[in-house]
């Protein structure tokens, strides 16, 4: 059965089902939750007779381990890393005859058509837990909540800025929050200046450079930074989503300027706040882009994101064309 998100933390501390399927694109979160489940059985990680870790095992191997008795007594834990569809038959056998051991299956992203996922979701003896990257819009709230659990308070503008500059993937996010908690020290509070001093500005440098170059009208720098971003593994859809987020943020500020505010006043109201090192660049962007131009850019970014999700579009080239078109438009505006 699917485990509701609100019940996940309690279940990880005290699992009351013998079979657990962890799946999702956030492999760091899958691994972290798998380890948390193993730790929930007291003393098991220090007892080789009670703890077994398997890597993409055969169905027969999984069944043998899942049904084996603990030589030293106590509950056993079988942790399966890199679980695949080949284990469907074994899972179905374990569903019919639930083991005394806690069996943890850790998989990557499983679609709704996955037989392994469907078998788990239909069975009352299986807890199926999805592990997704935290959505960008929910990151500031998640950051504040996680730090609060560590006894650290973070100012709202600092959490917003951190959410803009951190990944929602559990591994990098957890590491960054550990660093922030240590930096807070005895004061147990983080300001925007504290967070900006600890975290890198702008996330992926090449991606950020490509977007900055496009919005400030530098086609050559856009093309170079985009090539570097691709070499680093940046996915075009991910880049377009970041671009769209920045364009929407700029539109709010430019709308404020259209009502009579200065560029500095509009920038001061942007959320998340503009880091002081970027204020000159953002001020230039605000002067180059008016509302009609931003509306067209937003429409183009939305169209490109949808197109890049199809199988017939050369997504890397399409994304490059969009950014270069923005760069040429901004350069034309700068010459007027």
Judged by average pLDDT, the poorest of 89-93, 227-231, 319-323 is: 227-231
The pLDDT-based confidence of 320 (bands split at 50, 70, 90) is very high
Q: In what order do the strands lie in the sheet with 126-130?
A: 51-55, 77-81, 102-106, 19-23, 126-130
Q: Does the pLDDT of residue 26 top 50, yes or no? A: yes
pTM for this structure?
0.53
Beta strands in 91-157 (DSSP E): 102-106, 126-130, 153-154
pLDDT at 193: 79
Helix (H) or strand (E) segment spanning residue 274: none
Give the DSSP H or E segment for 269: none
* Residues of the chain above pLDDT 90, percent: 51
Contact in structure between 269 and 319 (CB atoms under 8 Å) = no
pLDDT of 162-212, one tens digit each? 887 787 777 678 778 888 888 888 889 998 878 877 776 544 567 888 999
DSSP state of 47: -
157, 217, 328, 329 from 335: Cα distances, Å: 35, 10, 11, 10
Q: Does residue 66 surpass a pLDDT of 90?
A: yes
- pLDDT of 305 reads 84
Residue 203: what pLDDT?
46
Per-residue pLDDT at 134 = 79
- d(CA 334, CA 336) in angstroms, rounded, equals 6
Domain architecture of the chain: domains with CATH: 5-130 (3.40.50.300), 136-198 (1.10.8.60), 205-335 (1.20.272.10)
Question: What rounded mean pLDDT belongs to the chain?
Answer: 88
Q: What is the pLDDT of residues 217-233, one digit of tens each?
A: 999 999 999 998 888 77
pLDDT of 119: 96
Token digits for 191?
């300001």
């Amino acid at each position: 059965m699917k485990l509701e998100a609100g019940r996940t933390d309690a279940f990880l501390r005290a699992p009351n089902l013998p079979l657990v399927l962890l799946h999702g694109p956030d492999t760091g979160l899958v691994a972290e939750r798998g380890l948390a489940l193993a730790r929930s059985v007291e003393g098991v990680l220090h007892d080789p007779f009670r703890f077994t870790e398997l890597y993409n095992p055969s169905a027969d191997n999984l069944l043998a381990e899942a049904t084996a008795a603990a030589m030293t007594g106590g509950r056993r834990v079988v942790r399966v890393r890199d679980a695949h569809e080949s284990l469907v038959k074994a899972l179905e056998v374990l569903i019919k005859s639930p083991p005394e051991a806690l069996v943890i299956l850790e998989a990557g992203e499983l679609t709704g058509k996955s037989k392994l996922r469907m078998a788990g979701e239909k069975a009352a003896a299986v807890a199926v837990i999805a592990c997704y990257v935290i959505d960008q819009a929910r990151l500031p709230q998640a950051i504040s909540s996680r730090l609060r659990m560590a006894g650290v308070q973070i100012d709202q503008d600092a959490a917003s800025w951190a959410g803009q500059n951190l990944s929602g993937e559990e591994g990098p996010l957890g590491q960054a929050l550990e660093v922030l908690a240590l930096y807070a020290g005895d004061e147990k509070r983080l300001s925007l200046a504290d967070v900006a001093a600890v975290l890198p500005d702008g996330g992926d440098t090449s991606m950020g450079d490509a977007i900055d170059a496009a919005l400030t009208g530098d086609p050559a720098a856009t093309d170079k930074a985009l090539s570097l971003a691709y070499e680093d593994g940046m996915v075009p859809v991910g880049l377009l989503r970041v671009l769209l987020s920045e364009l929407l943020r700029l539109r709010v500020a430019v709308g404020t300027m259209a009502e009579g505010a200065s560029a500095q006043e509009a920038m001061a109201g942007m959320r998340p706040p503009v880091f002081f090192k970027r204020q000159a660049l953002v001020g230039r962007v605000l002067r180059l882009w008016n509302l009609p131009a931003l509306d067209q850019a937003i429409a183009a970014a939305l169209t490109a994101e949808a197109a890049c999700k199809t199988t017939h579009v050369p997504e890397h080239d399409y994304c490059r064309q969009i950014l270069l078109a923005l760069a040429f438009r901004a350069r034309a505006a700068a010459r007027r």
